[in-house]
Amino acid sequence: MEALELGFDSVMVDGSHLPFSDNILYTKYISLMAHRKNLLVEAELGRLSGTEDGLRVEDYEARLTDINQAQEFLDETGIDALAVCIGNVHGKYPESGPNLRLGLLKDLHALCSKKGVILVLHGASGLSAEVIKACIERGVRKFNVNTEVRKAYMDSLNSPKKDLVRVMASAKEAMIAVIKEKMHLFGSSGKA
pLDDT digit string (tens) for 119-167?
999 988 889 999 999 999 999 999 988 888 888 888 888 776 667 677 8
Q: Which domain holds residue 163?
A: 145-192
- Give the pLDDT mean for 37-61: 68
Tell whether 16 and 48 lie within a shared domain. Answer: yes
- 83 and 164 housed in the same domain: no
Helix (H, G, I), strand (E, B) or coil at 101: coil
pLDDT of 61 > 50? The answer is no
159 & 177 share domain: yes
Residues 159 and 95 both lie in one domain: no
Give the pTM.
0.82
Based on the fold, state whether residues 68 and 106 are members of the same structural domain. yes
CA dist 190 to 33, 56, 137, 169, 187, Å?
32, 35, 20, 24, 9
Q: Which residue has the higher pLDDT, 10 or 7?
A: 10
**Predicted local distance difference test score (pLDDT) of residue 134:** 96
Nearest to 124 by CA among 162, 178, 59, 66: 178
Tell me: do 121 and 32 sit in the same domain.
Answer: yes
* Domain shared by 33 and 99, yes or no: yes
CA distances from 114 to 12, 41, 56, 102 (A): 21, 17, 34, 19
